[in-house]
Amino acid sequence: MQTVVLNTGTRMPILGFGVYQIPPEHTEQAVAHALAAGCRLLDTAAAYGNEEAVGRAIKSSSIPRDELFVTTKLWIQDAPAEQNTRRAFEKSLSKLGLDHLDLYLMHQPFGDVYGQWRAMEGLHREGLAKAIGVANFYPDRLLDLILNNEVTPAVNQVETHPFFQRTADQELMREHGVQIQAWGGFAEGKNNLFTHPVLSDIAKQHGKSVAQVVLRWLIQREVVTIPKSVRPERMAENTDVFDFELSDDQMATIATLDTGTTLFFDHHDPAMVDWLSKRRLND
């Protein structure tokens, strides 16, 4: 598996498996299939409600812990943020059945971001989180966090797909040693991604699927990606993307699909800020 090197020196697989929107009762089997397909990067979150199922799949596998790269995410914490962040981390770690995380991400750029980050820095210093990072941070918020804290985020996980490519954002991250990671790499099929004529034509040229072309496009841009599926055949297809390469012309053609805007939700929208900031996890 191809890897990227984080600013901690840790190697992270460039392709993994995400469990967003997989119901807990189906997650354990899905993760087992993903591991069997060769995935070693697993991405979950407290807000997904399926950390325990991911943990069971890890425990049931025969894969050594040091061959896995496990990520989960911190939801917005009430004050006192530092104390509650550590409590939330310990709860996630217990649900996963692990003694450390490879990557711990702040899920949203809201609430007491600095208090949460200070607590995450502590977890990192103690070796409980080998790397720490953020998700859904736009460049202004990311740079503010970098400039006013000791530890630079290792990763920023953001919406990234052919219709919202984040090229300038990635360049800023690269300048500051932050690895970009994509969520929604397939845009959840929006804009008819899987039948899009441009992507379909490129896929035909390589004898591959549109999904494989999109994953290959992300990989060639050095974007870590975590496609989700509950079908073993799709998981196997998603990992079969290292035996071909998109040409410069094909990469440039895909670049023309960028709309420069989200297809999901805008973190600058006051209504979305209000909704996310008021949401609390039941546990």
Q: Report d(CA 46, CA 34) in Å as an integer.
A: 20
Residue 51 φ/ψ, nearest 5 degrees? -60, -40
11 φψ region: left (φ > 0), alpha (ψ -120 to 50), beta (else) = beta
Q: State the DSSP H helix or E strand holding residue 141, giving kind and residue range, or none if neither.
A: helix 139-147
Name the token pair of 77: 């914490």
User: Per the residue annotation, which of 48, 104, 114, 138 is the catalytic one?
Assistant: 48
Q: Taking the mean position of all CA atoms in its chain, how far away is CA 210?
A: 20
Reduce the DSSP state of residue 154 to 3 states and report it.
coil
Examine the residue annotation and report whether 138 is marked as an active-site residue of this protein: no
**First-to-final CA distance of the chain:** 36
Beta-strand relationship, 17-18 and 69-74:
unpaired
Q: Which parts of 15-107 are beta strand (E)?
A: 17-18, 41-43, 69-74, 103-106
CB distance 210 to 199 below 8 Å: yes
- For 173-206, give the DSSP string: HHHTT-EEEEESTTGGGGGGGGG-HHHHHHHHHH
Q: Which amino acid is at 65?
A: R
- Residue 75 sits at the vertex; the CA angle it makes with 116 and 36, to the nearest 5 degrees, is 120
Residues serving a catalytic function are 48
